């Protein structure tokens, strides 16, 4: 299935680039990911073969017509026509990934033991962008189990000064010395 997700999302992204509307589509896609994730039963309805396709397609029209770009509505209809409604969320998430990849913006997941104030978030973003040499979108998470410090993952690469990670490394070092 991942190759299908890549094919569908790449086609939507390419079309949006050709029409110079990739940022507009991105905004709608971001909103729709949340909507579809919180309404999984609707995706199941769109994927139910016992419901005539005309009804499922009509449902898309009645909910989304005039609210989202026609290309995006057509995209959903193509997925339903091809019995691939279950790929909607994955395709939308992949569209977002393609947008970031082609925009040269990296995503950084920042985890701290407690919420950071806005000023610290801005300083952290500025510092990271300087070190990485690229624009970043920071996504902040709170996880008290990291005890202190910060854990940062940029495009799958982990940078950590989290106390819990340092304690784990120390424990592994001690375990290796004892054995």
**Residue-range domain boundaries for the chain:** 2-101, 104-178
- Residue written as token pair 């120390």: 170
Q: Which CATH architecture has domain 2-101?
A: Orthogonal Bundle (1.10)
Mean pLDDT of all residues in the chain?
Answer: 87
**Quick check: 142 and 113 in contact, CB under 8 A?**
yes
**Is 142 strand, coil or helix?**
strand
pLDDT of residue 165: 45
Q: What angle do CA 82, 78, 57 make, to 5 degrees?
A: 95
pLDDT of residue 114: 86
More confidently predicted of 41 and 129: 41
Query: 54-111: per-residue pLDDT in tens?
Result: 999 999 999 999 999 999 999 999 999 999 999 999 999 999 989 988 988 888 888 8
Query: 134-168: per-residue pLDDT in tens?
Result: 888 898 999 888 777 778 888 777 776 644 444 44
**Quick check: 152 and 160 in contact, CB under 8 A?**
yes
Q: Which two tokens stand for residue 32?
A: 């729709």
β-pair type (150-154, 157-160): antiparallel
Q: What angle do CA 118, 101, 36 make, to 5 degrees?
A: 75
Domain 104-178 has CATH 2.40.50: no
pTM of the predicted structure, to 2 decimals: 0.72
């Amino acid at each position: 299935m991942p190759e299908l997700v890549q094919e569908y999302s790449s086609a939507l992204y390419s079309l949006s680039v050709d029409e110079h509307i990739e940022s507009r589509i991105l905004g709608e896609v971001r909103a729709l990911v949340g909507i579809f994730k919180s309404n999984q039963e609707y995706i199941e309805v769109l994927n139910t073969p016992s419901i005539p396709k005309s009804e499922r397609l009509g449902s898309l029209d009645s909910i989304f017509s005039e609210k989202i770009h026609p290309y995006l509505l057509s995209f959903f209809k193509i997925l339903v026509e091809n019995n691939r409604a279950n790929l909607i969320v994955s395709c939308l998430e992949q569209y977002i990934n393609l947008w970031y990849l082609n925009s040269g913006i990296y995503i950084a997941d920042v985890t701290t033991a407690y919420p950071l104030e806005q000023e610290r978030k801005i300083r952290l973003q500025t510092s990271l962008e300087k070190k990485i040499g690229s624009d970043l979108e920071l996504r902040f998470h709170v996880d008290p189990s990291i005890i202190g410090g910060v854990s940062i993952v940029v495009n799958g690469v982990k940078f950590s000064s989290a106390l819990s990670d340092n304690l784990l490394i120390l424990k592994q070092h001690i375990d290796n010395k004892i054995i």
